[in-house]
Structure 1
Amino acid sequence: MKNTIQYIGVALFCAFFGTAQQAPAPAQTGTVVIEGATAHLGNGEVIENSLIIFEEGKLSFVGPATTKIARKGTQIKGEGKHVYPGFIAPSTSLGLIEINAVRATDDQDELGEMIPHVRSLIAYNAESKVVESMRPNGVLLGQITPMGGRISGTSSIVQFDAWNWEDAAVKVDDGIHLRWPNTFRQGKWWQGEERGYHQNEEYQEQVTKVEVFLKNARAYGDGAGEGLNPAFAAMQGTFDGSQKLYVYADGEKEIIDAITLAKDSGVKNVVLVGGYHAYKITDFLKENDIPVLVQFTHNLPVFEDEDYDLPYKLPKLLVDAGLLVGLQNGEASNFQTRNLAFYAGQLVGQGMDKENALKLITGNSATILGIDENYGTLAQGKSATLFVSEGDALDMRGNRLTHAFIDGREISLETHQTELWKRYSEKYETGK
């Protein structure tokens, strides 16, 4: 039986990797002009009849099509279409795991509890077919984040069209990821405990371990440590402000405890990830200038006494409170990251303005991740990382890309998924 399972795993691996990813696009050589489309700039603004020009990977003009300026190079007719900045997926392990059932393709976590020196970037698989499948939905960049442990490691931000991790890197080692302990835990029914939530008796002990680690890491940076300690050395960017500390917490107490401890330990920039109950303590978050990468909206409430639609409206509640908010895929499977646009679209149904919803996966996420100088919005001088859609990209009925560019390079929108779609569309049309 064991051998049979191994054979099946190998067969799946071979089938999945039987054909390589589309070859990355070459560098942009000429000028590209997109005229007549509705341009959604990613900062809340819209240009109905737009003119977008880019060359050498940078946007040279973004404005109304009525502007008198020379049109040269490749011209794309945008009438009736929409242009968006490339969507950004924070806090994802894309490229670190391909098939959950095949251990050889799973490199998203390492052994150990406090391992900030584990770098996700060097394990990133630029030829991942799962990564490739993000592009037809407009997801063109991502923060590749390690999982596991209390301090999981160091993330990096990449673009999704590259030969290898060196080519993919947009921002190297941007932050450390701390998964805060919970005050309550699920009952281990298989060990005789009752189902449901129980108080975590080890919470304070777990918090103390984090506190001691942060204080020792700070002392190490101040010269108090002896010898080389890779874990402590990896934390220094969080104390000098060159890296951010991404804290994963959901409950009110957990959020307050985590942010207070991080600030008291000398961490300069903290980002809250998850924040399920963050809407209850928005004043605290604003006071401490904490942005939130909130969980995806397609979810169910955790507790019985919560509003049935809390996950749907949570990002809007935080935005309405004046917080800087971005959307992330949370604990959903990696492949669901391609639905990022539809998570944002869900907020429109909750009353959020469509352009503000778009900001949660473009301009806001770029600002939170620290890549807003080049990505996240359509503006002169920024990277030409954008796409053209036949309709509303936040609606699955309109999210049909015709062109996509990363740093001005026109990338392929063909993937394993589109191949299957075409194959079975033909089968359906023929009635066989």
Structure 2
Amino acid sequence: MLALINGNIMTMAGKVYKEGSIVVKGQKIAALSPYPSPPAGARVIDVTGKYVLPGFIDAHTHIGIYEEIYRIEGDDTNESSDPVTPHLRALDAINMEDLAFQDAIHGGVTTVMTGPGSANVIGGLSVVMKTHARTADEAVIKNPAGLKVALGENPKRVYGNRKKAPMTRMATAALMRETLVAAQNYATKIKKGKKDPDKQPDRDLKLEAMLPVISGEIPMLVHAHRVDDIITALRIADEFHLNVIIQHGTEAHKIPGELATRSVPAVVGPSLSSRAKVELKDRSFKTAGVLSQTGVQVAIMTDHPVVPIQYLPLLAALTVRDGMDEEEALKAITINPAEILGIADRVGSLEKGKDADIIVLSGHPFDWRTKVELVLINGKIVYENQA
């Protein structure tokens, strides 16, 4: 048993304990108190003057799949041989030896969503995982967490250069619809096959991967920057009654009402990057704040390795500088991504019964001078800054 006492505990569940205590038993949070009251027999760590928060959550990365210091050896981000690959599974590509997992822990990031890139119209199945474990399988919180799809420049650039569909935004949307319809038909055949085994279709891994999407069990994770691409994503979601999460949403601040009225969340960023392509021309740190003020649930991402994962709290701080409410910005890297990704029963806030993923900071998380001093994942100390 472990007790952190005298800390400024920001639970992200509506309560702040100025000199409180948090008790960890096994892998879970056993108790929280506004008083420094450790139970008998507990190992006590005094964190007087420190900030205690739930581990940060990055809701869009390619960690473990796109390794920073390797080229072909460590890049498994895009299977750009086929524009429609829903059956690819991120879990099959994750290398826990990627140095970025150490960076994540040192930056207080304890949970991530990682998955395929955006070269394909339909890229494959993403996974939510902890940043510390022996194997990727042990790290998993939710698999699959969603199906990655992409609109805009990337698919048309990758395949258009080969004179292969999609060469236009129209073809990208058409391929997406075509696959969704095929999945619906496949689901119908499976249903008929349960009544009459002779009508059971042959197993199709591509269409099988689409079934939890069309049933609403998992969301489509839609890479979309420009307004027209975001609207196309919403149009297709309306047509097929899909759950969608907008990823990037670079121009989403221009149409916040379209997302708010549909209760579609947005994982925004990475805003700390160059305008590397046309659809990034209006990227701004104001986007997250505008969406939040309109009632859109927002998470902030690094898109690691586009922005190194340890700088997630810096990105949130910069949204505050450009108008986002400070509390909402903190939620955007803790409880909001947990709720958006469907894992808030385990992580995202400090509450009794949740996973003991806890970080101790030397100062406020948005102060550039702040250092991560202690990190617990599943109740185990995985990093302690001795400096």
1:253 aligns with 2:223: no
Match of 1:95 among 59, 64, 72: 64
- Residue ranges of structure 2 left out of the alignment (5+ in a row): 191-199
Partner residue, 2:269:
295
Aligned to 2:49, the other structure's residue is in SS state coil
Partner residue, 2:362:
390
Shift of 1:69: 6.5
Query: Within 5 Å, which residues of 2 pair with 1:231-310?
Result: 231-267=206-242, 269-299=243-273
Moved more, 151-160 or 123-132: 123-132
Tell me if structure 1 keeps the 8 A contact 2:125–2:148: yes
1:213 aligns with 2:179: yes
Partner residue, 1:176:
147
Shift of 1:50: 1.4
Amino acid at match of 2:313: A
Moved more, 292-301 or 370-379: 292-301
Partner residue, 2:120:
149
Tell me if structure 1 keeps the 8 A contact 2:250–2:269: yes
Shift of 1:46: 2.3
TM-score with structure 2 length normalisation?
A: 0.88
* Aligned counterparts of 2:102 and 2:276: Cα–Cα separation in 1: 32
Partner residue, 1:356:
328
Amino acid at match of 1:140: T
| CA distance 1:396–1:184, change in 2 (3 Å) | same
Counting aligned pairs with the same residue, the percent is 24
Partner residue, 2:96:
126
Amino acid at match of 2:182: N
Shift of 1:412: 3.1
Match of 1:80 among 49, 59, 70: 49
Aligned to 1:412, the other structure's residue is in SS state strand
Cα deviation 1:56-101 (Å, max 9, x = unaligned): 11111123016x6735411010111010111111221101122455
1:378 aligns with 2:350: yes
Tell me if structure 1 keeps the 8 A contact 2:270–2:307: no
* Aligned counterparts of 2:32 and 2:217: Cα–Cα separation in 1: 31
* Aligned counterparts of 2:294 and 2:8: Cα–Cα separation in 1: 30
| CA distance 1:79–1:251, change in 2 (3 Å) | same
Amino acid at match of 1:89: D
The structure number with the bigger radius of gyration is 1
Match of 2:288 among 308, 315, 327: 315
Tell me if structure 1 keeps the 8 A contact 2:288–2:324: no
Tell me if structure 2 keeps the 8 A contact 1:299–1:312: no
Aligned pairs, number: 368
Shift of 1:289: 1.4
Partner residue, 2:5:
35
| CA distance 1:303–1:246, change in 2 (3 Å) | closer
* Aligned counterparts of 1:250 and 1:395: Cα–Cα separation in 2: 29
Moved more, 247-256 or 369-378: 247-256
Moved more, 200-209 or 228-237: 200-209
* Aligned counterparts of 1:118 and 1:360: Cα–Cα separation in 2: 28
Shift of 1:323: 0.5
Tell me if structure 2 keeps the 8 A contact 1:298–1:343: yes
1:228 aligns with 2:203: yes
Tell me if structure 2 keeps the 8 A contact 1:153–1:176: yes
* Aligned counterparts of 1:334 and 1:168: Cα–Cα separation in 2: 23
Tell me if structure 1 keeps the 8 A contact 2:100–2:309: no
Match of 2:169 among 184, 187, 203: 203
Shift of 1:158: 1.0
Amino acid at match of 1:173: P
Tell me if structure 2 keeps the 8 A contact 1:385–1:407: yes
1:113 aligns with 2:59: no
Partner residue, 1:407:
378
- Residue ranges of structure 1 left out of the alignment (5+ in a row): 1-30, 191-199, 423-432
| CA distance 1:299–1:311, change in 2 (3 Å) | farther
| CA distance 1:179–1:201, change in 2 (3 Å) | closer
